[in-house]
Amino acid sequence: MTPVRSLFMAPQWIGDAVMTQPFVAALKARHERITVAALPWVAPVYELMPECDEVMVLPWPKKGLSLKLRWEWARAQRHRFDRAYLGPNTFKSALLPLWAGIPQRVGYQGESRSWLLTHVLPNPRHDKSLAMVDFYNALAKPFEHGDVKLCAQEPGHAVSSAASAASAVSRPQLSLENVEIAKTLETLGLASGEYVVVACGAEYGPAKKWPHEHFARLIVKTPWPVLMLGSNKDSLDAEKIVKMVHALGGSRVIDLTGRTSLREAFAWIAGAKGLVSNDSGLMHVGAALGISQVALFGSSSAEHTPALNERATMIWLKQDPDYSPPLTCAPCFKRVCPLGHTRCLEDLGVERVLPHVLSWQD
């Protein structure tokens, strides 16, 4: 039987990309041949998924329509694929499979794009209790068990809701089979398991970021060298934290934010004793690599985007029955605290985090 040739249009965030791994694995398990089309900063995530048969790097920037580039790319894919799955919930992402002449096109409702799709799923994005892993898993449902009737649905026909169709939350997993960890660590004079990674950034905004002074005090009390990882957008935060560490008498901290490739960051995280991070893309990378980690939540939800890792500790004052007054404002999912106090993170003190980090000595 000839395998279905499937194209998956990947989401643009690293954390979301990691959370699509169980979905990709589900397609592979039913013998689809999977090509992932991803933006340059997300493509390395899919290179660590052995279920992917091909990873195509998209040639346009994150923002803007770039219609000419998209049209040319799509036309070059004609007759290559039988089916397309859309990770992004955007109109422009739905244009590509249509322009490429892909006969089956699966995605969620949104941005008035239903007429571009053949299989439309009602969008449960408003349900923040739904784990994002299951949000992506549900994209596979229209063709589960090779259901011919579903495959033959008319354009625009809605299938069952993602929330009810989604399977139980499954843990994303990445493979470092082709990543040279030891060689990467040698460049810093470190050995695997002898340092901790701190990721102080969060792409969405400051309401997801643990305060600088909290990170600095934690780093000073951590009994191992600390590597700080993140993008160039995190460099200013990391610089402030390092200065605070030095002012507190600490010294064993190396700032690599904005100075590594994503693939190198994966290697350093995989080799770490543990990871301390905000709710961020690197948090999901650490979870998918199965390392010990502490994940700090503020404006977002530990139910909606949890660190799916049995070795993870998630700390969210919203879930602490002893914290008073209760955080009735959380999760607000805002970039900046609308009340101006960011109490969800300011009150999440080092004393709540340090014992979990010290437990990694065992």
Residue 129 binned pLDDT confidence (cut-offs 50, 70, 90)? low
Lowest average pLDDT, out of 159-168, 224-233, 243-252, goes to 159-168
Residue 2 binned pLDDT confidence (cut-offs 50, 70, 90)? confident
**Which carries the bigger pLDDT value, residue 60 or residue 286?**
286
What is the average per-residue pLDDT within 178-190? 75
Residue 320: pLDDT above 50?
yes
| Residue % of the chain over a pLDDT of 70 | 91
Contact indicator for 68, 61 with CB cutoff of 8 Å: no
In angstroms, rounded to a whole number, what is the distance separating the alpha carbons of residues 95 and 100? 9
Residue 204: pLDDT above 90?
no
Lowest average pLDDT, out of 60-64, 69-73, 192-196, 305-309, goes to 60-64
Mind listing the pLDDT tens digit for each residue in 49-75?
999 999 999 998 877 788 999 999 999
The whole-number pLDDT of residue 114 equals: 94
Residue 178: pLDDT above 90?
no
The whole-number pLDDT of residue 150 equals: 32
Give the residue carrying structure tokens 């460049």.
187
Residue 128 binned pLDDT confidence (cut-offs 50, 70, 90)? low
The mean pLDDT of the chain is 89
Residue 127: pLDDT above 70?
no
The whole-number pLDDT of residue 163 equals: 32
Mind listing the pLDDT tens digit for each residue in 28-38?
999 999 999 99
| Residue % of the chain over a pLDDT of 90 | 76
What is the average per-residue pLDDT within 320-344? 94
Residue 354: pLDDT above 80?
yes
**Which carries the bigger pLDDT value, residue 23 or residue 154?**
23
Domains of the chain: 5-165 (3.40.50.2000), 181-361 (3.40.50.2000)
The whole-number pLDDT of residue 73 equals: 96
What is the average per-residue pLDDT within 253-267? 92
> What is the distance in angstroms between the CA of the first residue and the CA of the last residue of the chain?
51
What is the average per-residue pLDDT within 8-19? 96
Residue 164 binned pLDDT confidence (cut-offs 50, 70, 90)? very low
Give CA separation, 257 vs 183, 208, 240, 276, in Å.
19, 18, 12, 15
Long-range Cβ contacts of 255-259 (<8 Å, 24+ apart): 255/228, 256/227, 256/228, 256/229, 257/200, 257/201, 257/228, 257/229, 257/230, 257/231, 257/232, 258/230, 258/231, 258/232, 258/233, 258/234
Mind listing the pLDDT tens digit for each residue in 141-161?
888 755 433 333 333 333 333
Give CA separation, 52 vs 23, 28, 58, 332, 336, in Å.
11, 8, 16, 35, 37
The whole-number pLDDT of residue 126 equals: 66
Q: In what order do the strands lie in the sheet with 54-57?
A: 54-57, 33-38, 5-9, 83-86, 104-108, 119-121, 157-158
The whole-number pLDDT of residue 313 equals: 97
The whole-number pLDDT of residue 169 equals: 56
